[in-house]
Chain A
Amino acid sequence: MTGLAALLRKELLEQWRTTRLPVVATVFLLVGLSSPLLARFTPEILKAVGGDQFQIILPTPTAADAYDQLAKNLGQFGALIAVLLAMGAVATEKERGTAALILTKPVSRAAFLLAKLVAIATTLGISTAIAAAGAWFYTFVLFEPLPIAGFAAATILQWLALVVYATITLLGSTLTRSALAAAGLGVAAFIVLGILSIVPAIGRYLPTGLGAPARGLALGQAGVDVIGPTIASVALVVGVVTVAWLAFRRQEL
């Protein structure tokens, strides 16, 4: 794939220089740290806010609640950030004319797209890992230690779900010259996949279907089916990137 290594180097440098990586990593760290805190102190906060006016009976929070809070926050904030990272990746370069600068060099269009996806996935990967490390540590401090290997595996599945949303947004960014339209496609995909996830037959094969096996792995449960949902999400990423490439290689710049 002509030019991939040089382009990937440029894309990773861009993630750092434009402060995308440090900003996203910081936001994810805050998400990771705050999730166990919220799980631990939500009952006390509600009690303090409600005072004597309400009788609120909440179960005692557990490490599972801390993980669920993390999964929910990453699934929402994380998906939004994945869309924001990918929305301008190709559209902005086409609009500003920098895509023409690069694509008059010996670079294949597949390498151009793949370098962008890998760089975005790297930013999301580093950030998700930081969020997970922070969440695991606070869960350990406030509740109990969760199995490290299972937690790490769950983090990979959460990252994979975010990469799916980033890839769909990248497709939108490739098809149009508008970063906003690309973001629209990413958000629409997030909503549509969320709705489809309640259909039992296909729900487990969508990126939202990665949540259940990730939870099982993080909490050390046995008999978790990881293979099917993982293969389905990887296939979705590959399929969407292929469609983006087929469209991009026919585009004038």
Chain B
Amino acid sequence: MTGSASAPGTTWETTSEPAIETRGLTKRFGAILALDRLDLVVPRGSIFGLLGPNGAGKTTTIRILTGLARPTAGIASVAGVEVSLDEPNLRRRIGYLDQDPRFYGWMKGRELLELVGRLHGLSASELRSRVAEMLARTGLSAAAERRIGGYSGGMRQRLGIAQALLHAPQILFLDEPVSSLDPEGRRDLLELVASLRGEATVVFSTHLLSDVERICDRIAILDRGRRVTDGPLGELLAAHARPIFRLLPAPGQDDLVAILVDRLRAAPWTTDVTAAIGIIRVTVSDPKAAASGVLSLAVATGVILDLFERARPTLEDVFLELVGPAAPDDLDGRGFDRPREVSDR
């Protein structure tokens, strides 16, 4: 079995096929539908954010694309190779970081990277230079000769990044890569991923929307196994993010602020008004009317404002617009989205 999805006699590098393509990708776990006919196209060279709440199907998608899980239905190709469970050709081209990377505790950090390099067929000189480079880039040079069993969670995460990048993969899958990192490590990782732009295709799953905004050029939002939307980040922001105004009332006006919030909610040009930690966020349907209307209501109510601004729409706004906050019935006991159960069809 060659596993190649490219036309006979051609290699993926010489074609214009996308980095990743899925068609009708479906995954069931018994009665639970984890992925529901997912169609996805990831262009080459993009840093692709895979977004969604817990249980949306992000990890399941990545596990199928890396050959760790088998789809119930549908097909997927990665770098021109049709994905399947036992396909070394697929894995030559990819790097993968699990959301909870596990290693051999008895092994030293350098030994782990050397093993990974050998599995990827690096020569002895390539192995030496790449291992040293990745240890340095992930800040693990000083810990290279220590056993991994003694590493902290953040160090293991950085080692996971090092092993995923060691062979300079064409396509890199990062499943929640910043979950165990401190702010500095998180910043460094995001810079590292951003530096890969143009060199590799990166699929980056996370629920931290600010990270995606910082580095991703395209995103797909999943919800309960379905693709809600995908496309270039700028286009999605333009298409889905409603204009938002932020008001910061001066302290000590709680009663007046409550009246103002009620009046804003009643205004015909608002779609949502929230007041939390002293800030009022007003999402509007008609920015022109709102620009004067918000201030007029504040003056009429007698609320003194320290700040009034039209906020730049964020990915969070798009996300909430498309996915919405989870309804109480959709949450399990831990606050996670409850996976959707379906009957056979």
Q: Are B119 and A250 in contact (CB under 8 A)?
A: no
Contact bitstring A1-30, B, C-beta under 8 A = 1, else 0: 011011101100110011000000000000
Least distance between A77 CB and chain B CB atoms (Å): 25
Cβ contact of A101, chosen from B69, B102, B106, cutoff 8 A: B102
Q: Are B119 and A106 in contact (CB under 8 A)?
A: yes
Q: Considering the complex, which residues of chain B in the window 60-119 have a beta carbon less than 8 Å from any beta carbon of chain A?
A: 63, 66-70, 85-86, 88-89, 91-92, 94, 96, 98, 100-104, 106-107, 111, 115-116, 118-119
* B120 on the A face (CB < 8 A): yes
Residues of B within 8 A of A97 (CB): 98, 100-102
Complex A-B: 7 CB contacts under 8 Å: A6-B119, A97-B98, A106-B88, A106-B121, A107-B91, A249-B86, A250-B85
- What number of residue pairs across chains A and B have CB atoms under 8 A from each other? 72
Cβ contact of A104, chosen from B96, B106, B118, cutoff 8 A: B96
Cβ contact of B88, chosen from A18, A98, A108, A253, cutoff 8 A: A108
Residues of B within 8 A of A2 (CB): 88
Q: Considering the complex, which residues of chain A in the window 76-114 have a beta carbon less than 8 Å from any beta carbon of chain B?
A: 96-98, 100-109
State the interface size on chain B (CB cutoff 8 A).
30
Residues of B within 8 A of A101 (CB): 98, 101-103, 163
Cβ contact of A107, chosen from B88, B102, B104, cutoff 8 A: B88
Nearest 4 pairs of A and B residues by beta carbon: A97-B102, A6-B118, A106-B88, A105-B119
Least distance between A218 CB and chain B CB atoms (Å): 37
* A251 on the B face (CB < 8 A): yes
Residues of B within 8 A of A251 (CB): 85
Count chain B CB atoms within 10 A of each CB in A5, A6, A18 and give the residue with the most. Answer: A6
Least distance between A172 CB and chain B CB atoms (Å): 20
Majority secondary structure of chain B interface residues (helix, strand, loop or mixed): loop
Given contacts A98-B102, A101-B101, 18 further A-B contacts (CB under 8 A): A2-B88, A6-B115, A10-B115, A13-B111, A14-B106, A100-B98, A102-B119, A104-B68, A104-B96, A105-B120, A106-B88, A106-B91, A107-B88, A109-B85, A250-B85, A252-B68, A252-B85, A253-B68
Least distance between B157 CB and chain A CB atoms (Å): 13
Q: Are B68 and A103 in contact (CB under 8 A)?
A: yes
The CA-CA distance from A135 to B141 in the complex, in Å, is 48
Least distance between B92 CB and chain A CB atoms (Å): 4
Q: Are A17 and B86 in contact (CB under 8 A)?
A: no
For B173, the closest partner residue in chain A by CB is A104
Least distance between A180 CB and chain B CB atoms (Å): 20
Count chain B CB atoms within 10 A of each CB in A18, A98, A101, A102 and give the residue with the most. Answer: A101
Q: Considering the complex, which residues of chain B in the window 167-182 have a beta carbon less than 8 Å from any beta carbon of chain A?
A: none
The CA-CA distance from A100 to B67 in the complex, in Å, is 9
Residues of B within 8 A of A103 (CB): 67-68, 91
The CA-CA distance from A168 to B67 in the complex, in Å, is 27
Residues of B within 8 A of A104 (CB): 66-68, 91, 94, 96
